[in-house]
């Protein structure tokens, strides 16, 4: 089962940054088994750098990032014209199953095929 974004593009790459590295690695392993390419970032600045390099379809951020904070990271992403249109999901707690994020977040109009 593939996931598609608006326009039929298949979701391939996710940049993820979570304050709990164990949860991040577990989420990454599960997502990779589902066919997604997950790039881990260590902090907000690393998220921006990796997003510029890989141009992911989705960025997943923990709500409790520090230096830069989650809000500061989102502001950095918003201020970069090369990153316009990349969806950002902010989560609190454990990383959800990235394949099951479909339809759970307002503003993320994905569809299962």
Q: Are strands 58-62 and 87-91 parallel, antiparallel or unpaired?
A: parallel
Confidence of residue 24 (pLDDT cuts 50, 70, 90): confident
Mean pLDDT over residues 37-48, rounded?
92
CA 19 to chain centre: 14
Tell me which residue has tokens 């390419």: 37
What is the pTM for the complete model shown? 0.71
Among residues of the chain, what percentage have pLDDT more than 90? 29
Write the pLDDT tens digit of every residue in 64-93. 888 899 899 999 999 999 998 888 988 876
Alpha carbon distance 58, 108 (integer Å):
10
Alpha carbon distance 87, 92 (integer Å):
17
CB-CB contact of 27 with 37 (8 Å)? no
């Amino acid at each position: 089962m593939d996931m598609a974004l608006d326009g039929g593009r298949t979701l391939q790459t996710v940049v993820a940054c979570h304050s709990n590295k164990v949860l991040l690695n577990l989420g990454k392993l599960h997502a990779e088994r589902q066919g997604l390419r997950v790039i881990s970032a260590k902090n907000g600045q690393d998220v921006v750098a990796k997003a510029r390099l890989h141009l992911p379809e989705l960025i997943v951020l923990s709500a409790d990032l520090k230096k830069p904070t989650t809000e500061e990271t989102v502001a950095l992403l918003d201020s970069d014209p090369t990153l316009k249109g990349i969806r950002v999901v902010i989560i609190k707690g454990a990383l959800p199953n990235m394949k099951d994020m479909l339809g759970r977040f307002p503003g993320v109009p994905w569809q299962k095929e």
